[in-house]
Structure 1
Amino acid sequence: MGTAFGVEAPGGYRPLFEQVWTTVETNFYDPGFHGTDWAVVGQRYRGQLGSVADDAAFQALVARMLGELKVSHVAIAPPAGSGARARGIGARFERVEGAATAVEVSPLSDAWRQGLRPGDRLQGPADALAGPIGSRVDLNVRTCAGATRALRVARVGLSASESPGWRWSRYAPRKGLSLGYLRVDRFDDGAAELADRAMSDLGDTQGLILDLRRNSGGNTSALRLASYFMQPGERPVFALYARSYLQSLGRRPSAADIARGPKTIGAYTDAAVFEAIGAQHGAAVFHSDPLPGKTRYRSPVVVLIDGETASAGEGFAWAMRLYSGARFFGRDSAGALLSGETFELARGWSLTVPVHGLWAADGRDLGDRPMTPDRRIEWTRADLCSGRDPDLEAAIDALAP
C-alpha cells in the first residue's frame, strides 16, 4: 500500500489528509481547540502535501499537525504491515543520573539475547532506536560492571497484554502486622469485579500498597476501586464532557454545573461510558459507588505512581488524592488524562482523537494534568543494576515503621 501511495504523489494523500483533518474538526472535545486555529493549521499542512511520497512521510506530516493541539490521546496509525510503523528494540530507556539508561528489557527481544540488561547506559541518543521492524541498530552501552560493549540489535515488534492485569498478595513483616499489595496495570471492562475480589482478600490488612506504576489507563471502572477508600455513600467525583455539551454551555464548566449534571453510577465498561455520555447530550457526572454490602478500607494507603501512570490510571490517582487520605510515592504521572476514541480511516489507517475532557467535582480541569507525588523517589543506576525497587521499599517502610 505504501508503494501504491508513493506513486500517486503529490495528490495521492490529499483525500486521506482531509479525512484526518475533518475527523479532528468534528470530534475534538474542546470547541476552542486549546487556542489553536485548526482551520489555519490545516491550510498550512495542506501546503506541504506535495512533498509526501510514502506512508512514513505522511504519518510524520500528520503527527506534526496533530502535535499543534498539544494534548494526549491524539495519534495517527498507518495500516498493519506498513513500513511506516516504526519499531524499537524491546527495551525501555529513561534518563537516570543524567544518562539514557535501560530500565526494562523484554526477555523476548534480541536486545536481551545480545546481553542488554537494566542499568546499562546507552552511549548515544535513544531516539535512534526506532526504525523498521527487522532492521538492526548498532548500540554502544556501558554495562553495570563498567565495561563498554558494542551490540548489533534487531528492531522487533513487541506488544504485551496480561489478563486480568491485576495481582495482589499479603505480606507480614512482623507478627501481628499484615500489609496488602495490589498492582493494577489497567482499568478495563471487568475491573469492577476484580476490585471487589481484591478488596475482599485484602480488606483486613493494616496497610495497603496500590501500585499504579505503568498503569496505561482504561475506563471509569477505576471508580469502583477508588470507592473503597472514600466516605460511605455516593458523591460526584468527576465529569466527562464532549464537544456538544461544551459548545452548548459556552464557557468553562463550574462546580455548580457538575453538581447538577446528569448522575452516572456503575458505568464500568467502555460501552457504558459512551452510552451514558451520548444519552445525556455529551455530559456525564460520574459518582462514587455506594458499595452496598461491602466493607470500606480504613487502614493507611500508599499509592505508587511514575511517568507511565496515565489516562484512567491518573483519573484513579486524582480521585484518591481528592477523596481519600492516601499518600503518593514515586514520580510525576504522565499528564495524559483525557478520554480518546479511535476512528477508522480509509486504506487501513486509524486516528485517535480526545473526544471527552475531564473535570473534578470542584470544577478543576484535570485534562492532561499530572499527579505529583507526596514523596518523590528518584532511582539510581545502582538500584537498576542490583534489582532493587526503591518505591516499594519506601512504601513498606512507611506502613511498617
Structure 2
Amino acid sequence: MARSETVQGGGTSPAFFLRYLFLPALLMSLVISGCQSPRKASGGLSEEDRAKYVTSFDHVFETVRDTHWDPEVVGDSWHSAARELRPRIEQAESRGEAVSILQELLGRLELSHYGILPRSYYSSFEAPTPEEKETEDPGSAPKGRGGDAGLDLRVIEGEAVIFRVPGDGAAAAVGLAKGWVIESVAEESLATVIDKIQTLMSESSQLELIVTSVIEERLIGDPGDHIQIVARDGEGELHKIDLVLGEPLGKRVTFGNLPPFNLVYEGYLIDETVAYIRLSSFFNPMDVMPWFQRQIEEMGDVRGFIIDLRGNPGGISLMACGIAGWFFEDEGHDLGKMKTRQLELKFFINPRLGAYKGPLALLVDGSSASTSEFLAAGLQDLRRARIFGSRTAGAALPSIIERLPSGDGFQYAVANYFSVSGRILEGKGVEPDEAITLDRGSLGAGRDPVLEAAVRWITEQD
C-alpha cells in the first residue's frame, strides 16, 4: 500500500515523439520509408515554403558543422552530403519530402539525437496555417494530438505484447490485458512490420527502441478516434476490438521547443518493505524533484528502493544528478562527463542531507535512453546501484532542440557522453548487472520478472 501520491498514467502517444527524436535519423528514415503505416498523399509545397526548407537545410548543415565535438566527423564527408542533397530539397514537392531529405542529411552521421521533429507534431498546441487547413501533409511524420491507447507494448519473440495496462485507460476499458498480443492494427499485421525492422536493424543497439516506436505509431491519434485491432489472449483466442483513444493520462507538461506531452511519475510500497518509483521521462523538475524528495522522506525506512526507468527515453540530464543525490551523503561523485568541441563538463552529483543509504535497484530495457542511461551507467560505475533488465538503447548524447524556419523542430547533439569509468554509451548502451528476459506467460499471469528479481535482491541484503 502506498504512502505517497501517484500521478498515474501510461500508454503510447505521450512519449512516442520523444523516442522518435532520440533515434538515429538514418534508422528512422529507413523505418519510415519501409514500415510506415498507410497515409494520404502529401500536398504540394509552395515556393515560399520551399525557400524556407532550403534555408532550414543550410542552417542544419552549418549548425552540425560548427557544434559537433569531433571536427573530423563533419569534415569532407559532411560537406559532400550537403552538396549531394541540397539540390534535392530545392526541388522538393511536399513537406514530407523536404523533411525526409533533412532526415537523410542528419542520418549520414549515424548517431542518435540528430533528427527533425516535423511541424505536424506541434499541431496539438498551434493553430494550423491556412495552407495546412486545405492540404494535409501527414507523410512528413506520424500524426496525433494526444489520444492515448492506454497501454505499453514490448516486442517479445517477434510479437507486440502488452506490457502495461493502467486501470483507468482506454485499453483496460475494452478488456485488453498484460500478456496479450496485438496481432494487427487497421488490418496491418504487426508481426510483418516487426520482422521488416528486425531485418533492417538487426545490428543496432536501438532496435527495441525503434521497433516499439514504429509499432506505437499505429496507435496514436486524437481522443475519441477509433482504432480497429485484433488481439490474441493468453489462451490463443482472437478478439476483434474497437479501441477508442482516451484523453492522455498523467500530467501535461511543456518544455522548450518540444510539443506538449504527458509525464507519468508514481511511487508506492511493495509488501510494505520495498519502495518503488517510476518516471516516464526526465522533465518538469519543478514538480518532480520535490515529489521525489517526498518519496525519500516518506518511504526512507524501507529495505530498499527501486527506480523503474523502463521505457523512459530521457529528458533533462541534470535531473539525473539531483535524483542521484538522494542516494549519496558525501561529496566528490559524478555520473560521468560530456565532452564538447571546446570543453568537458562533469555531471556532478548533488549530495543530500538525509540521503537513503540502503540498497538501490534500477530497472532498464531497450527503450531506456539518454538521461536514463546517464543515471544507470553512473550509479553502476559507482557501485551504488544494481541494474536489472535488458541492455539500454545506446542513444546517449546531450542535445538541444530548436525550431527551423520551416516550422519543424531540429534536434542536434552538442557533446559525447562518457561514464565514470570512461565508457561511451552511444551505440552500445548499459548492460544490466542481472539480465532478465520478459515472457508472455509471466506477463499474462500478472507478474513482472524484472521487478521480482530486484525485490528479491533487496530482501536478500543484510
| TM-score normalised by L of structure 2 | 0.66
For these two proteins, the number of residue pairs brought into alignment is 357
> 1:78 & 1:210 partners in 2: Cα distance?
32
Match of 2:141 among 85, 97, 107: 85
Asked if 1:97 is matched to 2:187, the reply is no
> 1:24 & 1:157 partners in 2: Cα distance?
38
The answer to whether the Cα contact below 8 Å between 1:144 and 1:385 also exists between their aligned partners in 2 is yes
The C-alpha deviation readout for 1:85-132, integer Å capped at 9, x for no partner, is: 313784544321232333356889877776655422425234577479
- CA shift for structure 1 position 341: 0.5
Taking a change above 3 Å as real, the CA distance of residues 111 and 346 of structure 1, as seen in their structure-2 partners, is farther
Structure 2 residue runs without a partner (length 5+): 1-41, 124-136, 194-213, 254-262
Q: Which residue of 1 aligns with 2:394?
A: 335
Asked if 1:122 is matched to 2:160, the reply is no
Q: Which residue of 1 aligns with 2:298?
A: 201
Q: Which residue of 2 aligns with 1:144?
A: 234
The answer to whether the Cα contact below 8 Å between 2:118 and 2:409 also exists between their aligned partners in 1 is yes
Q: Which residue of 1 aligns with 2:357?
A: 298
**Bigger-Rg structure (1/2):** 1
- CA shift for structure 1 position 187: 3.3
Asked if 1:186 is matched to 2:281, the reply is yes
> 2:317 & 2:309 partners in 1: Cα distance?
14
- Once the two structures are overlaid, the 10-residue window that deviates more, 17-26 or 320-329, is 17-26
> 1:6 & 1:101 partners in 2: Cα distance?
43
Taking a change above 3 Å as real, the CA distance of residues 199 and 37 of structure 1, as seen in their structure-2 partners, is same
Q: Which residue of 2 aligns with 1:278?
A: none
Q: Secondary structure at the match of 1:334?
A: coil
Aligned AA (1:226): A
Residue pairs, 1:106-255, within 5 angstroms: 117-118=177-178, 119-123=180-184, 124-125=189-190, 126=193, 127=214, 130=217, 133=221, 139-150=229-240, 161=251, 165-172=264-271, 178-188=273-283, 189-190=285-286, 191-217=288-314, 218-230=316-328, 232-243=330-341, 245=342
The answer to whether the Cα contact below 8 Å between 2:392 and 2:431 also exists between their aligned partners in 1 is yes
Asked if 1:287 is matched to 2:352, the reply is no
Q: Secondary structure at the match of 2:234?
A: coil
Taking a change above 3 Å as real, the CA distance of residues 46 and 321 of structure 1, as seen in their structure-2 partners, is same
The percentage of aligned residue pairs carrying the same residue is 23
Q: Secondary structure at the match of 1:169?
A: strand
Aligned AA (2:311): R
> 1:168 & 1:87 partners in 2: Cα distance?
32
Aligned AA (2:346): V
Q: Secondary structure at the match of 1:220?
A: helix
Match of 2:431 among 372, 383, 389: 372
Q: Secondary structure at the match of 1:333?
A: coil
Superposition RMSD on alpha carbons, in Å? 3.6
Match of 2:97 among 50, 53, 57: 57
- CA shift for structure 1 position 150: 4.6
The answer to whether the Cα contact below 8 Å between 2:116 and 2:409 also exists between their aligned partners in 1 is yes
- CA shift for structure 1 position 21: 2.2
> 1:111 & 1:171 partners in 2: Cα distance?
25
Aligned AA (1:347): S
- CA shift for structure 1 position 3: 4.5
The answer to whether the Cα contact below 8 Å between 1:234 and 1:289 also exists between their aligned partners in 2 is no
- CA shift for structure 1 position 136: 7.5
Q: Which residue of 2 aligns with 1:357?
A: 416
